[in-house]
Amino acid sequence: MPANRLLVLLGVLSVSCSAPSALTEVVTAALNDPLPSWHEGAAKTALIDFVTRTTMAGASDFVPPSERTAVFDNDGTLWAEQPLYAQFAFALDRIKALAPQHPEWKTMQPFAAVIDGDLNAVLANGEAGLMRILAASHTGVTTDEFDAIVTQWFTSARHPGTGRRYDEMIYQPMLEVLRYLRANGYKTFIVSGGGVEFIRPWAERVYGIPPEQVVGSRVKVRYELRNDTPVLLRLPEFDLNGDKAGKPVGILQVIGRRPTIAFGNSDDDFEMLEWTTSARGPRLGVIVHHTDAAREWAYDRDSHVGRLARVLDEGPKRGWLIADIKRDWRVVYPTRH
Amino acid sequence: MPANRLLVLLGVLSVSCSAPSALTEVVTAALNDPLPSWHEGAAKTALIDFVTRTTMAGASDFVPPSERTAVFDNDGTLWAEQPLYAQFAFALDRIKALAPQHPEWKTMQPFAAVIDGDLNAVLANGEAGLMRILAASHTGVTTDEFDAIVTQWFTSARHPGTGRRYDEMIYQPMLEVLRYLRANGYKTFIVSGGGVEFIRPWAERVYGIPPEQVVGSRVKVRYELRNDTPVLLRLPEFDLNGDKAGKPVGILQVIGRRPTIAFGNSDDDFEMLEWTTSARGPRLGVIVHHTDAAREWAYDRDSHVGRLARVLDEGPKRGWLIADIKRDWRVVYPTRH
């Protein structure tokens, strides 16, 4: 970010030029700020303090570089999850795209409701209906085919509320946290309840997180040859449901060590933060709290994107930080280019 | 390695001192050699050629650093697998250590045979017997407990043939390959049919490969609280059998992209090499062939550590390199300190 844009953001361009040394000081501080989109406050201070004392040689809380591991939930933590999970929007679009090959869907629920665009009727089919939508939209293709389908969808789909691409519905303050942690030797991982194959195709470009550092729900796959060429075929059966207690399981399977830092936003992240912060040594848990109806959404306790009561009630007692979007974030989404 | 030790190894200390410039040339070449434990020959040349053309900016085979991924089988590829897989030796030792808590094992097969040290009687119980040994020795404990058990075993167990620690039964030429690839921007992964939790506790110290870059077979785990402290309990059920077609599956689950380079040594690695080398772009498959009964072991085709016929028959037709231990490796194990 250019210095003068940063200064406008920080509101310091009104500082009198008759105080050049004070201005210089502010500029220097601003340019050195690793989290310029975060307001000064308890959350930002505690975050920077934790990173400082775990990375300063000789500090009692020093964590060796190879052990610095930070995990992030995706939906509601790194990007917006309202009004629908992006992956659910993808599933609905995929059903519509496949409908011409499935004339029988016109009279078969929940597909007919999807084709009609009647979301309430879709949801009326309950979890079994959602699983049929997920199976029809996410499986029966090879992993390479699914990667291409997801990549294509992101280029064309737009968020209904903002008109942005879904991969632009990411949180600028969290991008800064990711970069700040990596600059301090932390390896950053996504640990999502969403499908890992839905996130990997774009996570490196958007978050700087490579595929091997994305953990999530996954379906079973079968290795088979097609004209002597091997493929992995996606099967309509969960191999890992990566929410709740599935998060520590996914962390074990893919990362193989206890994280130092965990960020989440809902009760689906409770076990991940519990698993992280109950380990020996310095650990940090952070909850992103959605409090800003004007710039994003305000929701907690019960919500159609999941419950958030337990993390908010128990988190502070366990020393987890609350990052309150309205209070703590100067901006929400990145500036569009 | 100090230069003069290297020169002794290379046999160049006998070069006449009346030719100082020739000596200087040899020394310089030796010091610049990324694979000093490999004899000059087709395998070494092809390996260096592949790394050079995939990492040289502007080369038609250039692979961007973020995509440089090398996967290695462990047993028989990075370390010795004879006369028994180390993990099987661990399982037998673990059964013996647990025997006092299980008086019933004295008359129960396959445990009685293990306690008696009668390997033939153990094997007479077939696969079902092996699974009972694996379950009793590898599960029913938390992941943290298992990590400590494995770590402790490696400090005391010794290879029956050499008297070395098992984590010293590693191949010096392969350590050089790992370092050489990492120095050229490749991320190195283990993809083992062995248990991932048996390898992770020492892979970083021994191979420079961190836990999150170890893929392998795994058991199911259950997240539960013990006195309010969360644990992951290891259950007696496979979550992934990571051999054969399980290798591409493990690669998908944990790495999430097709490797550039794959090293293996048996038919259990066939699908991993097939999956790697059938992808678009420059790919390399390498088979370590055990041909040196004097320094290591000589075995191929059928062996009690698995079949090796298909990789040896089909590999060369597919362009996979054969690294022949007798022919290509100047030394086998690292010098002991």
ipTM computed for the complex: 0.90
For A234, which residue in chain B has the nearest alpha carbon?
B249
Residue A300: per-residue pLDDT: 81
- Quickly state the pLDDT bin for A197 (edges 50, 70, 90): very high
pLDDT digits (tens, 9 = 90+) for A42-82: 999 999 999 999 999 999 999 999 999 999 999 999 999 99
Residue A271 and residue B223: Cβ atoms within 8 Å? Answer: yes
- Quickly state the pLDDT bin for B313 (edges 50, 70, 90): very high
Is the predicted pLDDT of residue B62 greater than 50, yes or no? Answer: yes
| A217 close to A196: Cβ distance less than 8 angstroms | yes
Tell how far CA A94 is from the center of its chain: 22
pLDDT digits (tens, 9 = 90+) for B259-292: 999 999 999 999 999 999 999 999 999 999 999 9
Cβ neighbours of B95 (radius 10 Å): 22
Residue A164: per-residue pLDDT: 95
Is the predicted pLDDT of residue A13 greater than 70, yes or no? Answer: no
Tokens of A303: 């919500």
Q: In chain B, count H helices and then E strands.
A: 14, 8
Three-class secondary structure of residue B61 per DSSP: coil
Q: How far apart are CA B128 and CA A302, in angstroms?
A: 49
Residue B13: per-residue pLDDT: 36
Task: Give phi and psi for A84, each to the nearest 5.
Answer: -135, 150
Q: How far apart are CA A188 and CA A77, in angstroms?
A: 14
What whole-number percentage of chain B has pLDDT above 70?
90
Which residues are registered as beta bridge partners of A322? A287
- Quickly state the pLDDT bin for B82 (edges 50, 70, 90): very high
| A197 close to A217: Cβ distance less than 8 angstroms | no
Nearest by CB to B232, which of A229, A232, A249? A249
Residue A245 and residue B223: Cβ atoms within 8 Å? Answer: yes
Query: Sign of the CA dihedral B150, B152, B157, B162?
Result: positive
> Closest Cα to residue B186, out of B177, B197, B174?
B177
pLDDT digits (tens, 9 = 90+) for B210-257: 999 999 999 999 999 999 999 999 999 999 999 999 999 999 999 999
Radius of gyration of chain B (CA): 22
- Quickly state the pLDDT bin for A29 (edges 50, 70, 90): low
Residue A28: per-residue pLDDT: 61
Q: How far apart are the first and last CA of chain B?
A: 12
Nearest by CB to B245, which of A69, A214, A223? A223
**DSSP-derived secondary structure for B171-185:** -HHHHHHHHHHHHTT
> Closest Cα to residue B325, out of B38, B10, B33?
B38
Three-class secondary structure of residue B231 per DSSP: strand
Q: Which residues of chain B have a CB within 8 Å of the CB of A223?
A: 245, 248-249, 271, 275
Query: Sign of the CA dihedral B244, B250, B252, B255?
Result: negative
Is the predicted pLDDT of residue A275 greater than 60, yes or no? Answer: yes
Q: Chain A: give the shortest CA distance to residue B164, in Å.
A: 27
Residue B232 neighbours by CB under 8 Å, 6+ apart: A248, A249, A252, B142, B143, B221, B222, B223
- If you count them, how many residues does chain B have? 337
Is the predicted pLDDT of residue B16 greater than 60, yes or no? Answer: no
- Quickly state the pLDDT bin for B303 (edges 50, 70, 90): confident
Question: Any CB–CB contact under 8 A between B230 and chain A?
Answer: yes
Which of B141, B253, B310 should one mutate to test binding to chain A, selecting the residue with the greatest count of A CBs within 10 A? B253
Residue A223 and residue B187: Cβ atoms within 8 Å? Answer: no
Residue ranges of alpha helices (H) inside chain B are 3-10, 20-32, 42-55, 86-98, 111-116, 119-123, 126-138, 143-156, 172-183, 196-207, 246-250, 270-277, 309-314, 325-328
Going by their DSSP bridges, the two strands B261-264 and B69-72 should be labelled as parallel
Question: Any CB–CB contact under 8 A between A239 and chain B?
Answer: yes
Q: How far apart are CA B260 and CA B69, in angstroms?
A: 5
Residue B255 and residue A211: Cβ atoms within 8 Å? Answer: yes
Nearest by CB to B249, which of A189, A211, A223? A223
Is the predicted pLDDT of residue A8 greater than 50, yes or no? Answer: no
- Quickly state the pLDDT bin for B37 (edges 50, 70, 90): very high
- Quickly state the pLDDT bin for B21 (edges 50, 70, 90): low
- Ranking A253-257, A270-274, B21-25, B324-328 by mean pLDDT, the lowest is B21-25
- Domain ranges across chain A: 1-32, 36-82+168-328, 86-156
Residue B32: per-residue pLDDT: 86
Is the predicted pLDDT of residue B23 greater than 90, yes or no? Answer: no
Tokens of B155: 């400090």
Is the predicted pLDDT of residue A328 greater than 50, yes or no? Answer: yes
Q: Which residues of chain B have a CB within 8 Å of the CB of A249?
A: 221, 223, 232
Residue A44 neighbours by CB under 8 Å, 6+ apart: A35, A38, A328
Q: Chain A: give the shortest CA distance to residue B330, in Å.
A: 32
Three-class secondary structure of residue B113 per DSSP: helix
**DSSP-derived secondary structure for A64-90:** -GGG-EEEE--BTTTB---SS-HHHHH
pLDDT digits (tens, 9 = 90+) for A211-236: 999 999 999 999 999 999 999 999 99
Residue A271 and residue B230: Cβ atoms within 8 Å? Answer: yes
Which of B151, B214, B223 should one mutate to test binding to chain A, selecting the residue with the greatest count of A CBs within 10 A? B223
| B265 close to B303: Cβ distance less than 8 angstroms | no
CATH number of A36-82+168-328: 3.40.50.1000
Residue A249 and residue B223: Cβ atoms within 8 Å? Answer: yes
Question: Any CB–CB contact under 8 A between A210 and chain B?
Answer: yes
Q: Which residues of chain B have a CB within 8 Å of the CB of A200?
A: 256
Residue B278 and residue A143: Cβ atoms within 8 Å? Answer: no
Q: Report A:270-309 residues touching B (Cβ under 8 A).
A: 271, 274-275, 278
Residue B252: per-residue pLDDT: 98
pTM of the prediction?
0.91
Residue A252 and residue B232: Cβ atoms within 8 Å? Answer: yes
Residue A321 identity (one-letter amino acid): L
**B173-200: buried (b, 16+ CB within 10 Å) or exposed (e) per residue?**
bbbbbbebbeebebbbbbbbbbbbbbbb
| A253 close to B253: Cβ distance less than 8 angstroms | yes
Is the predicted pLDDT of residue B15 greater than 60, yes or no? Answer: no
Is the predicted pLDDT of residue A133 greater than 60, yes or no? Answer: yes
Residue ranges of alpha helices (H) inside chain A are 3-10, 20-32, 42-55, 86-98, 111-116, 119-123, 126-138, 143-156, 172-183, 196-207, 246-250, 270-277, 309-314, 325-328
Residue B48: per-residue pLDDT: 98
Residue B27: per-residue pLDDT: 62
pLDDT digits (tens, 9 = 90+) for A295-324: 999 998 777 767 888 999 999 999 999 999
pLDDT digits (tens, 9 = 90+) for B181-191: 999 999 999 99
Mean pLDDT, rounded, for A256-270 = 97
Q: Which residues of chain A have a CB within 8 Å of the CB of B278?
A: 229-230
Residue A237 neighbours by CB under 8 Å, 6+ apart: A219, A220
State the residue for tokens 């090796």. Answer: B308
pLDDT digits (tens, 9 = 90+) for B136-174: 999 999 999 999 999 999 999 999 999 999 999 999 999
Residue B6: per-residue pLDDT: 38
Asked if the peptide bond before residue B83 counts as cis, ω within 30 degrees of 0, the response is yes
| Higher pLDDT, residue A8 or A213 | A213
Cβ neighbours of B132 (radius 10 Å): 18
Q: Which residues of chain B have a CB within 8 Å of the CB of A239?
A: 253
| Higher pLDDT, residue A87 or B27 | A87
Residue A24: per-residue pLDDT: 63
Residue A23: per-residue pLDDT: 60
For A220, which residue in chain B has the nearest alpha carbon?
B249
Mean pLDDT, rounded, for A83-109 = 97
Residue A129 neighbours by CB under 8 Å, 6+ apart: A109, A110, A122, A123
Three-class secondary structure of residue B296 per DSSP: coil
- Quickly state the pLDDT bin for A142 (edges 50, 70, 90): very high
Q: Which residues of chain B have a CB within 8 Å of the CB of A256?
A: 196, 200, 210-212, 214
Tokens of A6: 């940063």
Cβ neighbours of A130 (radius 10 Å): 15
CATH (one of 1.10.10.10, 3.40.50.300, 3.40.50.1000, 3.60.15.10) for B35-82+170-328? 3.40.50.1000
